[in-house]
């Protein structure tokens, strides 16, 4: 076999394998898109549904994170303001803090993200009207714990610096004891107009799978075109 023929066979094999690879990646992205659209539909249905009671403490260890996040729930109890935690936040209202307060219910303790406060209103004494006393009812969305902090800004419990809503770490730092493995993003209903400002949950899912799929399929077509060119008989230079 001539050197040119061997090179041609190698290029054909490379194009063939590339067609298989890029087509497989395109199909995978189509499958991922279907999964993402289903997830978005399920989450939208949960957010729009009427609030249901928070799952009992006996069910907490077996909760499926995929089935509980963004479920709209309602919980009643007493807010433990003396054990609140301020977590760094960046919102549509600018930088500030999330106010996470334990809610003691008859079935256990649940951390509640009561909402946003600007930097100048971080001290509890600057927002006394929002420090609700006695029995309260919280309505909001179930959210999953955010362990460890951000990529470049880990939580520092010893310094009381928090960059994510890490339920277990906050419970340990505040000596809360047994706490639900999730937290609740409260809406604005407990005390509209007062601080902290609830109801700022942003639900947004990145969905670029179709773009990626078209890119992979386009590359597969280009490799297929390359195979067609390589299979064409060589022109006689005469």
- 188-221 pLDDT, tens per residue? 866 656 789 988 888 888 889 999 999 999 999 9
Considering the domain architecture, whether residues 177 and 215 belong to the same structural domain is answered as no
The pLDDT, as a whole number, for residue 192 is: 58
| DSSP for residue 104 | E
Helix H, strand E, coil C: the string for 110-142 is EEEEEEEECHHHCCHHHHHHHCCCCEEEEEEEE
Query: Which pTM was predicted?
Result: 0.78
Owning domain of residue 220: 3-44+207-231
Residues 223 and 165 in one domain: no
For residue 59, being part of any structural domain is answered with no
* E strand intervals along the chain: 52-53, 72-79, 85-91, 94-105, 108-117, 135-144, 179-186
In the chain, how many domains are there?
Answer: 2
pLDDT tens string 78-137: 999 999 999 999 888 889 999 999 999 999 999 999 999 999 999 988 888 888 889 999
Confidence tier at 5 by pLDDT (50, 70, 90): confident
Residues 181 and 88 in one domain: yes
198: how many CB neighbours lie within 10 A of its CB?
25
């Amino acid at each position: 076999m001539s050197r040119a023929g061997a090179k041609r066979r190698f290029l054909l094999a490379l194009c063939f394998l590339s067609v298989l690879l890029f087509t497989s990646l395109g199909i995978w992205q189509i499958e991922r898109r279907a999964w993402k659209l289903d997830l978005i539909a399920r989450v939208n249905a949960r957010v729009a549904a009427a609030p249901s009671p928070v799952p009992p403490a006996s069910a907490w260890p077996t909760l499926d994170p995929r089935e509980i996040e963004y479920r709209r729930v309602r919980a009643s109890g007493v807010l433990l303001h003396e054990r609140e935690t301020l977590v760094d936040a960046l919102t549509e209202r600018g930088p500030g803090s999330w106010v996470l307060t334990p809610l003691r219910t008859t079935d256990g303790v649940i951390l509640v993200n009561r909402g946003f406060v600007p930097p100048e209103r971080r001290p509890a004494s600057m927002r006394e009207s929002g420090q609700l006393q006695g029995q309260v009812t919280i309505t909001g969305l179930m959210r999953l714990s955010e362990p460890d902090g951000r990529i470049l800004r880990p939580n520092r419990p010893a310094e009381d610096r928090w960059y994510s809503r890490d339920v277990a770490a906050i419970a340990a730092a505040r000596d809360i004891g047994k706490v639900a493995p999730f937290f609740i993003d409260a809406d604005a209903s407990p005390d509209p107009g007062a601080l902290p400002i609830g109801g700022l949950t942003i639900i947004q899912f990145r969905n670029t799978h179709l773009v990626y799929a078209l890119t992979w399929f386009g590359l597969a077509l280009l490799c297929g075109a390359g195979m067609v060119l390589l299979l064409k008989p060589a022109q006689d230079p005469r």
